[in-house]
Amino acid sequence: MQLSLFCDYRFHLKTSTFYTKYDALFLAVESAWAKIPHPAHSGRIGYGELTFLKALIYKNAQAIKSIPELLRDLESRPVLCEMIGFTPGHLPDSSRFYVFLAQIKNSEIKAIHHAAVQSLIDAMIISLDILISDSKPVMANTKHNNPKNPNRSLDKTKKIPRNPHITFGYYSCLKQPTSKKKEFSYFWGYRTHVLISQEGIPLVEITKPNNIDDATIAKMLLKKLKRVYGQKKGRIFIADAAYDKRWFYDFIVKEMKAQAFIPINRRYKEAHELFAENGQPLCEAGLKMKYTGLSPKDDRSRKKFRCPIKSASKKEQAQLPKKCPINHQRFCNGKCYGCTAYLVPDDIRAEVPRQSKFFADTYAKRTEVERYFSRMGDREVEQTTHFRYRSIRNQMTIAHLTLALTAVAAALVLKQPEKIRCFRSFADAA
- φ/ψ bin of 279: left (φ > 0), alpha (ψ from -120 to 50), beta (otherwise): left
CA dist., res. 61 & res. 195, Å (int): 20
Say whether both 137 and 255 belong to one domain: yes
Lowest mean pLDDT among 24-33, 319-328, 338-347, 359-368: 338-347
Say whether both 223 and 369 belong to one domain: yes
Residue 7: CB atoms within 10 A of its CB come to: 14
Say whether both 172 and 255 belong to one domain: yes
Does residue 372 have a pLDDT over 60? yes
CA dist., res. 230 & res. 224, Å (int): 9
The pLDDT of residue 7: 59
The pLDDT of residue 5: 46
Q: How many independent structural domains does the chain possess?
A: 3
Q: Percent of the chain scored above 70 by pLDDT?
A: 85
CATH number of residue 196's parent domain: 3.30.420
Say whether both 296 and 226 belong to one domain: no
Say whether both 148 and 183 belong to one domain: yes
Residue with the bigger pLDDT between 111 and 82: it is 111
pLDDT bracket for residue 224 (50, 70, 90): very high
CA dist., res. 198 & res. 129, Å (int): 8
Q: Angle 87-90-93 (CA atoms, 0-180°, nearest 5)?
A: 120
Residue 268: CB atoms within 10 A of its CB come to: 11
pLDDT, mean of residues 196-203: 96
In-domain check, residue 53: yes
Q: Percent of the chain scored above 90 by pLDDT?
A: 47
pLDDT bracket for residue 297 (50, 70, 90): low
In-domain check, residue 120: no
Q: Do the bridges between strand 340-343 and strand 236-238 make them parallel or antiparallel, or are there none, so unpaired? A: unpaired
CA dist., res. 251 & res. 352, Å (int): 14
Nearest to 404 by CA among 429, 376, 383, 425: 376
In-domain check, residue 4: no
The pLDDT of residue 8: 63
Q: Do the bridges between strand 236-238 and strand 182-197 make them parallel or antiparallel, or are there none, so unpaired? A: unpaired
Residue 376: CB atoms within 10 A of its CB come to: 23
CA dist., res. 24 & res. 363, Å (int): 34
In-domain check, residue 357: no
CA dist., res. 193 & res. 133, Å (int): 7
Compute CA distances 81 → 6, 29, 74, 408, whole Å. 14, 16, 6, 22
Residue with the bigger pLDDT between 218 and 153: it is 218
Say whether both 261 and 272 belong to one domain: no
pLDDT, mean of residues 54-65: 92
Does residue 391 have a pLDDT over 80? yes
Say whether both 169 and 44 belong to one domain: no
In-domain check, residue 144: yes
Q: Bridge-partner residues for 343, per DSSP? A: 303
Lowest mean pLDDT among 188-197, 243-252, 407-416, 420-429: 420-429
Residue with the bigger pLDDT between 216 and 323: it is 216
pLDDT, mean of residues 46-65: 91
Does residue 355 have a pLDDT over 90? no
Residue 8: CB atoms within 10 A of its CB come to: 13
In-domain check, residue 381: no
Residue with the bigger pLDDT between 136 and 384: it is 136
Residue-number span of the structural domain to which 197 is assigned: 128-265+365-376
The pLDDT of residue 238: 97
Say whether both 275 and 261 belong to one domain: no
* Model pTM score: 0.80
Say whether both 108 and 139 belong to one domain: no
Give the highest mean pLDDT range of 129-138, 145-154, 293-302.
129-138
Query: In three state form, how does the secondary structure of the chain look?
Result: CCCCCCCCHHHHHHHCHHHHHHHHHHHHHHHHHHCCCCCCCCCCCCCCHHHHHHHHHHHHHCCCCCHHHHHHHHHCCHHHHHHHCCCCCCCCCHHHHHHHHHHCCHHHHHHHHHHHHHHHHHCCCCCCCEEEEEEEEEECCCHHHCCCCCCCCCCCCCCECCECCCEEEEEEEEECCCCCCEEEEEEEEEEEEEEEECCCCEEEEEEEECCCCHHHHHHHHHHHHHHHHCCCCCCEEECCHHHCCHHHHHHHHHHCCCEEECCCCCCCCCCCCCECCCCCEECCCCCECEEEEEEEECCEEEEEEECHHHHCCHHHHCCCCCCCCCCCHHHHCCCCCCCEEEECCCCHHHHCCCCCHHHHHHHHHHHHHHHHHHHHCCCCCCECCCCCHHHHHHHHHHHHHHHHHHHHHHHHHCCCHHHCCCCCCCCCCC
Q: Are 342 and 303 in contact (CB under 8 A)?
A: yes
pLDDT, mean of residues 219-227: 96
CA dist., res. 269 & res. 267, Å (int): 6
The pLDDT of residue 65: 87
Say whether both 147 and 225 belong to one domain: yes
Distance of CA 121 to the CA centre of its chain: 18
Using a 10 angstrom Cβ sphere, with 0-12 exposed, 13-18 middle and 19 or more buried, the burial of residue 9 is middle
Say whether both 231 and 287 belong to one domain: no
In-domain check, residue 118: no
Q: Are 163 and 209 in contact (CB under 8 A)?
A: no
pLDDT, tens digit, 9 for 90 and up, residues 162-180 = 888 888 887 776 666 666 6
pLDDT, tens digit, 9 for 90 and up, residues 243-265 = 998 899 999 999 999 999 999 88
CA atoms within a 13 Å half-sphere pointing along the CA-CB vector of 56? 25
CA dist., res. 290 & res. 312, Å (int): 7
In-domain check, residue 286: yes
Does residue 343 have a pLDDT over 90? no
Say whether both 97 and 200 belong to one domain: no
